[in-house]
Structure 1
Amino acid sequence: MTSRAEGDMESGEGVSNLRSSVFKDWCGQFLSCNPWMARYVYGLMFLAANLLAWAARDYGHGPLTELERFKGCHGAKYCFGTEGVLRVSLGCFTFFIIMFLSTMGTKKLHVARDLWHSGWWSIKIILLISLTAIPFLIPSSFILLYGEIAHFGAGVFLLIQLISVISFIIWLKDCCELDKYSEKCHIHVMLLAMTAYLVCIVGIILMYIWYVPEPSCLLNIFFITWTLVLLQLMTSVSLHPKVNGGFLTPGLMGLYIVFICWCAIRSEPAGDRCNRKAEASNHTDWLTIISFVIALLAMVIATFSTGIDSQCFQFRKNDSKSEDDVPYGYGFFHLVFATGAMYFAMLLIGWNTHHPMKKWTIDVGWTSTWVRVVNEWLAVCVYLWMLVAPMLWKCREFGGIP
C-alpha cells in the first residue's frame, strides 16, 4: 500500500512537472512569459489608450460626427470630445476587468492563468483594439451612464493610490529604524526630514505669491492655510510620546499634501483673477504642451507603480515565499488599471460630462479642484488613522489601560 501511494505521488509530481514544462514551451512561442516584463507591456497599452482618448477629445470632432450613434449630442460643441474619451475609457476598462477576472487568485508561476497574464500578447492586443472599437457603436445614453459610474471608479483609484503612498512612507520609516540600519540611516533620515519640511514651507510661500495676488482671494487663502495647519497637525500627532513617529513620515506626507494642494489650485478654471498661472494657459504654447505631457505621463506612472503594490492591501502578511510564487498580485494589478481607465477619463473631461475642456489641458475645472482638495483632506485622515490605530488596538488589548 505504501509503495503504491508513493508511486501515485511520484506520478502526480511527474504530471505537474510535465505541465510546467509545457507552459514554459508555450511561453517561448508568445514573446515572453516574464511577469516583470509583462507590467511594462500593460503600461504601454494603458498609455496608448490615454493618448487615443486625448486624440478623440481634441481632434476627434470631425470623424466622430460621422457616426450616427452620436446624434444624442444635438450638435453640442464639446459633446463629441467628451463621449470619445468615455468610449475609449470604457474599452480600456472592459479589457482590464476581463484580465482581472481571469487572473485574480493566481498564486503560482507556470500555471494557465500565469501564462495568460504574462503571454499571449497578440491575442490580447487584438482584444484591446476590439473592446476599444465596440463602445463607438453604443448609444450615447449608455456612455453617459458609464461616465457617471466612472466618477466612483476614479474615486476608488485615488483611494488605492493614497493608501499605497502612505504605506510606502511608513515602510520607509520602519526600514530605517531596523537595528542593522538605524545608525547608518539616522543622519540620512534627519537630512531627508529637514529637506522635506523646507520644501513644504517654500512650496506654501510660493503658492501664496502665485495664487493670492489679492486679499479677496479667500478660497485660495483657505486652501493654502489649511494645508499648513494640516502639516502642523500631522507633525504634532507623529511627535506625541505615545505615537513616537518622528519627523520623517509627517515631512514626506507634507510634501504629498502640498503637491495635492498645488494641483487643486492649478485645476481652477482659466480666467479666474486669483489664478494668474491659469490665465496664462489660455494660449497654447510649448509650456502648456509640456505640462500636459508631464501630467499624462505622471498619471500613467502612478497607475503602474500602484498596480504592483498589492502587499499593503493584504490582511495577512506572508513573508515566506517560494520560488514559484507570483511576484505580485495579478488580479490587483489589473483592478488598479481598470479603475485607472476611469480615472484618466475624469482627468480629460474635468470630472464633468458637460464641462468644456480646451485643447492640451487636463484636470481643469471647479469639480477637479474640489476632488483634489477632498483627496488632500482624506490623505491626512488616513495617515493620522494609521498612526493612531496601533496605539488604540494596544489599549484595547490590555483592557483599555494606556
Structure 2
Amino acid sequence: MEPRESNNINSNQQGCGLKDSSWCCQFKNASNPLMARYVYGLIFLAANMLAWATRDELSSISALTELKGFKACKVGKDCLGAHGVLRVSMGCFLFFMMMFWSTTRTSKLNEPRDRWHSGWWATKIVLWIILTIFTFLLPSELIDLYGEVAHFGAGVFLLIQLVSIISFITWLNDCFASEKYAERCQIHVMVFATGSYFICLVGIILMYIWYAPIPSCLLNIFFITWTLVLLQIMTSVSLHPKVNGGILSPGLMGLYVVFLCWCAIRSEPEGDQCIRTSGTVTKTDWQNIISFVIGILAIVIATFSTGIDSKCFQLRKGDKPAEEDDVPYGYGFFHFVFATGAMYFAMLLIGWNTHHSMRKWSLDVGWTSAWVRIVNEWLAVCVYLWMLIAPIIWKARQTEST
C-alpha cells in the first residue's frame, strides 16, 4: 500500500526552464523524493546482480580465483561463492544503514536531510561502490560473523514484509466494508473472495499431485494439509459473529499462505522422489533462468513496496492533518527495510547456509530455506489471527476496567 504522494514537490526548481520541467529537472534540484525511491531500487537491483555474479559467474573465471592481492581472500576462495555474496550484501547493508542514520526523522521537504535523500546521486553511487570494495578487504572471520547476523536481519525483513502485507489486506477489506463502498461493491467482494478460495483449493490440489505423489511423502503431506487447516481456521475466525471480519480478507490471506507453502516445498533440495517437478533437472535451461530472474525481481519489488509502507508501523497515529510540505514517506524506515533486504537477498542466494553450495541459476534452495518459509507461513497466520481478535480483547479489558 503506497502512502499519499505529495502534490507540492516542486518548490526547488529554480533554474529549470519550461523544456526542463520533467522529473530530470527535479532530480537535478533534489526535489523529488517520489522518484528517488526508484533510483534506490536500481542500486539495490545492481547489488543483487553483483552478488549473483560473484556466486555463479566470477567464480568460474580462473584468473579471479587467484586474487593474491587481497590478503583476506586466501587466494580468492573467500571472495567468491557464498563469501562473495556476503561481502556484496554487507556493502549494500552498510550503504543503506548510512542512509538510514543520515535521513531518519526527516519530516519536511527541502530541508538538508531531504535534499541528501533525494539528490547527490553521484556521491552516493561512489559511496556504495567504495563500501562494496571495502568489504572485500575484510578478513573472512568478520564476514562469517556478518553471515550469522544476516540470518537475524533477514528474519526482521520477513517480519516487516509480513506485517505490511497483512495490513494491506485488512485495509482493503475495511475499505470495501465501509459505508461508502459496502453496497456498490458487494458483488465485487464476493467475486474476489470466491476467486481467491478457488485458487487456494486448486493450488492445494496441485501441490498434492506434484509434491506428494506417494504416501511416503509425509513431510510434504503435512505441510499441505496443515496449510488447508490454517485456511479453514482463518475463515472460521473471520466469520465469527464477534469478529465479523468478512470473507475477503481470509481469502486473500489464503492466497498468501498457499504461496508460502508452495515456496517452502519448492525450496526443498533436489534428488527427492517427492519433488518430481521442482527442478530436479541438473542442466541449466531457459526455465531455470527465467525463474531465477523473476525471483530476483520479486526480491527487489518486495523490498521496494515494503519500504514505502511506513505508515502501518507508526505507533502513534494522531489526527494531525498532513501538510503540503510533509515528506511523502518515512525515509529512515525506507532505508532500514532496504538494509535488512540486503541481508535477505544474501540468505536467498546462499540458501540460508554459508557452507551450502548452490547450483547455478538456483535461488533459495535447501532444507533451511524450506523451514524458514514454513515458519514464515505459520507466523503469518498467527499475526493475522491476532489482528482479528486483538480489538475484541482490548475492548473486553476496557469494559472490565470501567
Listed one character per residue, the Cα deviations across residues 20-41 of structure 1 (whole Å, up to 9, x for unaligned) are: 9779679868364201100000
The residue aligned with 2:156 is 156
* Contact 1:47 1:300 (8 Å CA) reproduced: yes
* Contact 1:272 1:278 (8 Å CA) reproduced: no
In 1: Cα distance, 2:313 partner to 2:281 partner: 39
The residue aligned with 2:377 is 376
1:180 Cα deviation from its structure 2 partner: 1.5
Report the 3-state secondary structure (helix = DSSP H, G, I; strand = E; otherwise coil) of the residue aligned with 2:181: helix
The residue aligned with 2:386 is 385
1:65 Cα deviation from its structure 2 partner: 3.6
Deviates more, 1:175-184 or 1:22-31: 22-31
Report the 3-state secondary structure (helix = DSSP H, G, I; strand = E; otherwise coil) of the residue aligned with 2:234: helix
Change over 3 Å in CA distance of 1:22–1:309 after alignment to 2: closer
* Contact 1:239 1:246 (8 Å CA) reproduced: yes
* TM-score, normalisation: structure 2: 0.91
* TM-score, normalisation: structure 1: 0.91
The residue aligned with 1:7 is none
- 1:109-258 aligned at under 5 Å gives the runs 109-258=109-258
* Contact 1:269 1:278 (8 Å CA) reproduced: no
* Contact 1:60 1:80 (8 Å CA) reproduced: yes
* Contact 1:31 1:121 (8 Å CA) reproduced: no
The residue aligned with 1:58 is 56
Count of residues in Structure 1 that have an aligned counterpart in Structure 2? 379
Q: What's the % identity of the aligned pairs?
A: 68
Report the 3-state secondary structure (helix = DSSP H, G, I; strand = E; otherwise coil) of the residue aligned with 1:87: helix
Paired letter, 1:375: N
Change over 3 Å in CA distance of 1:266–1:105 after alignment to 2: same
- 1:1-400 aligned at under 5 Å gives the runs 30=28, 32-61=30-59, 62=61, 63-66=64-67, 67-71=70-74, 80-318=80-318, 320-399=321-400
In 2: Cα distance, 1:395 partner to 1:318 partner: 23
Decide which structure has greater helix share: 1
1:186 Cα deviation from its structure 2 partner: 1.1
In 2: Cα distance, 1:125 partner to 1:247 partner: 47
Paired letter, 1:390: P
Change over 3 Å in CA distance of 1:29–1:107 after alignment to 2: closer
In 1: Cα distance, 2:322 partner to 2:190 partner: 34
1:383 Cα deviation from its structure 2 partner: 0.2
In 2: Cα distance, 1:365 partner to 1:375 partner: 16
In 2: Cα distance, 1:244 partner to 1:180 partner: 18
- Cα RMSD (Å): 1.9
Segments of 4+ in structure 1 off by > 4 A? 20-29
Structure 2 unaligned spans of 5+: 1-9, 17-24
Change over 3 Å in CA distance of 1:273–1:108 after alignment to 2: same
Listed one character per residue, the Cα deviations across residues 40-90 of structure 1 (whole Å, up to 9, x for unaligned) are: 0000000000000000000122425413322288x69xx830010000000
1:304 Cα deviation from its structure 2 partner: 0.3
